[in-house]
Structure 1
Amino acid sequence: MTDTIFQASDLATKRVELLTAARSGLARVRDKDGTSLVMLPESRLHLLETLADWSQAAVRLEAIISRGAGRDVSALGDLAWLRVFDDEDLREFLAELQAALTAAHADGHVSVLEDCLQAWRTTARQLEDPLRRSILLGQHDPADFVTAPRPEDE
């Protein structure tokens, strides 16, 4: 595959070839002033923007964890929803986030990353409620549990 660079005038004369190249992944257009412009599928742009945003968030979170400021809402900023997690959970989230970023890049799609984030956000919402938090994180004695009779046995 050759890397064709179209000229601005090609937007009128070679639009089919230019669009075909863009649909295939990337089309370069050199503007009259020498500026290089790129045309690519919107889904690819969304992938690249999402990977960039969450990669930056992962680097920032790693720095926050290394400073021991995991629950500092101002340090977390837009990641403040993570404040309910302890340092061990934050490290686990970071590891899963990094794995999801790698998988999303390899897959060329953000679904695995979105699934990871949705699962962690759901858990964070559950941990915000004190009763649910005590149930999820509390100690449980097997003696606290009994076998429930079937409804038709009553």
Structure 2
Amino acid sequence: MTAVTTTKDRIYQPSDLAGNHRKTFIAEALDSQARLRSTDGESLIMMREARLEHVAAVRDHAVAYLTLDMALRRPRKQRRPGDYGPWAFLDAFEDEDIEEFQQEVNDAIVLAASGRDHSPVERLLHEWRMSAETLSDPVAREILDGRSSDEDWVEVEDAAEPHETPQNEG
């Protein structure tokens, strides 16, 4: 039985780029990727830059996820913010919240890896970073944790209200 070679399996030679196959090579690169064998025997890939950036972003998120997973294998008291890698902001959260984040980011990374859009991962990270920033404020954390009540606060007069000043009679 003879194997059928499709154009996707084709490896172009530098001489092909000077001839009629140049348009096919570029079309394949635009569609997905095109392979070129350099004169020294190296295999090179040409693809859309946006696709390469997407693949790199998914890779970076996957590595960050694995770093988080390794950090969570240690007891909380043994972890430092740097143990979370690029997601050091997670140190502001309790372990239950970090586990919720881990599940959400796992789902987002899997979704991003199956397509060409990693922006849902970026949005999720942004939302969690904003929450971590809020929790890093001790007063905000007390309010959110319910450790503060209305009795802990006093009303302040509005300094913008004009005060009566005596007029110079004269």
**TM-score, structure 2 as length reference:** 0.76
> 2:44, 2:25 → 1: CA distance?
12
Q: Deviations over 1:12-41 (max 9, x none)?
A: 223222111100010000111211000111
User: Where in structure 2 are the equivalents of 1:48-59 lying within 5 Å?
Assistant: 48-59=55-66
Amino acid at match of 2:125: L
Cα gap change, 1:71/1:132 in structure 2, threshold over 3 Å: closer, same or farther?
Answer: farther
> SS in structure 2 opposite 1:126?
helix
User: Where in structure 2 are the equivalents of 1:4-153 lying within 5 Å?
Assistant: 4-13=10-19, 14-69=21-76, 71-138=79-146
Cα contact 1:27–1:38 (8 A) shared by 2: yes
| Sequence identity (%) | 35
Cα gap change, 1:59/1:77 in structure 2, threshold over 3 Å: closer, same or farther?
Answer: closer
Structure 2's unaligned 5+ residue stretches are: 1-6, 150-170
**TM-score, structure 1 as length reference:** 0.83
> 2:140, 2:22 → 1: CA distance?
58
Q: Deviations over 1:87-134 (max 9, x none)?
A: 111111111111000111223211111111111111111111111111
Q: After TM superposition, where is structure 1 displaced by more than 4 Å over at least 4 residues in a row?
A: none
Q: RMSD of the TM alignment (CA)?
A: 2.2
Amino acid at match of 2:16: D
> SS in structure 2 opposite 1:33?
coil
> 1:28, 1:115 → 2: CA distance?
34
> 1:114, 1:86 → 2: CA distance?
22
Cα contact 1:71–1:84 (8 A) shared by 2: no
Query: Aligned residues, how many?
Result: 143
Report which of the two structures shows the higher radius of gyration computed on alpha carbons: 2
> 1:113, 1:7 → 2: CA distance?
38
Higher fraction of helix: 1
> 1:63, 1:86 → 2: CA distance?
17
